[in-house]
Amino acid sequence: MDIRRTFLWVIFSMSIILLWDNWMRYNGKPSMFFPSATQQAAPAAGAGSTAQTGLPQAGQAAVQAAPGTPSGIAAPAAGQAAVKTERILITTDLFKAQVDTLGGNLVHLELLQHKEGAQSAKNVALFDESRNYAAQTGLIGGPFPNHKSAFVARPGARALDGGNQVQLVLEAEQNGVKLVKTFTFTRGSYVIDIKHEVVNASGAPVTPTAYLQLVRDNSKLPGESMFYSTFTGPAVYTDAAKFHKVSFEDIEKGKAPKAAATNDGWASMVQHYFVSAILPQDKAPREIYTDKVATNQYSVGTKLPLGTVAPGATAAVNAQLYAGPQESARLEKFAPGFDLVKDYGWLTVVAKPIFWLMTQIQKVISNWGWTIIALTVLIKLAFFPLTAASYRSMAKMKTVTPKMQSIRERHKGDPQKMNQAMMELYKTEKINPLGGCLPMVIQMPVFIALYWVLLASVEMRNAPWIGWIHDLASPDPFYILPVVMAASMFLQTRLNPTPPDPMQAKMMMWMPIIFSVMFFFFPAGLVLYWVVNNILSIGQQWLINKKMKA
């Protein structure tokens, strides 16, 4: 049996299977290889709100609401006049945020350092009404102010204006219980501090629970390729259950894991390149939950009990809201395990060191395209002894090709004797029949890990290289790199010995075309890596072939 022929068939089959798997995932079907969010989930998040109101259930602390009013939301006071609301714009060096006084919710958030595309002047909007994406907070457990109550904003600055912080303070009162929300925006930070103060002037003890939740519909982001699909939806973390995702589909079907009480952890809403997350103050008791709050609208959040607040007393609870890009350095500083929202797939153990090395190179070169080229050279040097041995084996194979053809002719009708003769020839000439394939097999994990690094790293989003390459995380707009890659692969096959088997020879001829078609849809940075790798391999192989001839 010809091992090289079998190996080529395996590569060809795996390429077709991976293409089909990516197509299935793009169309919302389950993957054959990558576990779904349900399979990854552990019991730490679950249903926690009332679909009719979008409010979390108050649990054991709930008071009896008026007839027809779902648990956890207070009925409006009789004769309560309509309150004028407004949207307050807060501007920092990183944000343009809009807070609606109706509910005191963060309903729109533009990221000033991130554009929608390399050639676009429009900022990325993380929280946005077009996707029903917002951050909501309030109180449950009684007729208390919540994210549907009318708040009044205290006067104050609405922009940094040379300072390091700007605060927005909102107040709402219901039945003698006042909720004061304070949003603190800090220069150079994507973290927003949120403080909830409860002032009890009702004349009776109250037991409120603060909730902070992120709500979003299940719409996919525009511009995703048919060849890859990234996760969009809730993700939560606790020290006990670690990081896991919860799909919108599971929430819709009621299959999301149940909520659990904990003293640590955070809740987030993840999408490609960006994330929002709620982190309560350290060691504060909390309950993390997910739920469907309306038609095609879902929530993930945390509930924070404030205990019993006596008449005339005040209770407070603090939390942080991260809303911004999945930049590794920022994620690691925000919370334990938060860097896991940057999904490198199943090769995280390889991808993380690769990204770390790339960031060190980029600090010196200051261009991600040249960083990829430098990384390719370093990887090539690391694999140099292995590839050199491989190319020597292939060069030897080329010299014995006439003998191999002679063996095939002699034992045409007896495959067993032909294979025995081939193995004897390999042994005599000291040739490893897998020598030419081994470097490719060993480098595949590095290649796949780099693929996920380029796909997941917002640092390379809209990052230019030279000329026509304005975004290394998107496909080459003119397909120049895939064509160059196909040409380099074709030249590389010409330097290899011609397989004696006609079928194998045809496969070798078609491989560059098949791979180039796949690479037409891959990020330009990944194709750049493969082109440089091929060019270096061609030079190395040519030198070895020349020495072997001499």
Better-scored residue on pLDDT, 259 or 443: 259
pLDDT surpassing 60 at residue 234: yes
* Burial 63-84, CB ≥16 within 10 A → b, else e: eebeeebebbbbeeeeeeeeee
Q: What is the pLDDT of residue 435?
A: 58
pLDDT surpassing 60 at residue 77: no
Q: What is the pLDDT of residue 63?
A: 31
User: β-pairing, 55-56 with 87-91?
Assistant: unpaired
pLDDT surpassing 80 at residue 223: no
* From 30-34, 257-261, 301-305, 461-465, the region with the lowest mean pLDDT: 30-34
Better-scored residue on pLDDT, 17 or 230: 230
Q: For residue 336, what are the CA distances in angstroms to 125, 239, 282, 301, 340? A: 26, 8, 11, 17, 9
* From 78-82, 427-431, 544-548, the region with the lowest mean pLDDT: 78-82
Question: What is the C-alpha to C-alpha distance for residues 198 and 206, in angstroms, rounded to an integer?
Answer: 10
Beta bridge partners of 302: 212, 288
Task: Provide φ and ψ at 378, rounded to 5°.
Answer: -65, -45
Q: What is the pLDDT of residue 224?
A: 62
pLDDT surpassing 70 at residue 34: no
Question: What is the C-alpha to C-alpha distance for residues 367 and 476, in angstroms, rounded to an integer?
Answer: 17
User: Is residue 541 very low, low, confident or very high in pLDDT (cuts 50, 70, 90)?
Assistant: confident
pLDDT surpassing 80 at residue 288: yes
Please, what are the domains in the chain? 40-337 (2.70.98.90), 367-393+438-549 (no CATH)
User: Is residue 165 very low, low, confident or very high in pLDDT (cuts 50, 70, 90)?
Assistant: very high
Better-scored residue on pLDDT, 97 or 16: 97
Give the whole-number percent of the chain exceeding pLDDT 90: 49
pLDDT surpassing 60 at residue 180: yes
Tens digit of each residue's pLDDT (9 = 90 or more) over 525-538: 989 998 998 898 88
Using a 10 angstrom Cβ sphere, with 0-12 exposed, 13-18 middle and 19 or more buried, the burial of residue 422 is buried
Tens digit of each residue's pLDDT (9 = 90 or more) over 471-521: 998 889 999 998 898 888 888 777 766 655 566 666 666 777 777 777 888
Q: What is the pLDDT of residue 452?
A: 86
Question: What is the C-alpha to C-alpha distance for residues 4 and 508, in angstroms, rounded to an integer?
Answer: 11
Q: What is the pLDDT of residue 73?
A: 39
Give the whole-number percent of the chain exceeding pLDDT 70: 78
Better-scored residue on pLDDT, 63 or 546: 546
Q: What is the pLDDT of residue 89?
A: 97
Q: Can you give the length of the chain in residues?
A: 550
Question: What is the C-alpha to C-alpha distance for residues 374 and 46, in angstroms, rounded to an integer?
Answer: 46
Q: What is the pLDDT of residue 319?
A: 98
Q: Write out the two tokens for 485.
A: 């890659």
Q: Mean pLDDT in the chain?
A: 82
Q: What is the pLDDT of residue 492?
A: 79
User: Is residue 428 very low, low, confident or very high in pLDDT (cuts 50, 70, 90)?
Assistant: confident
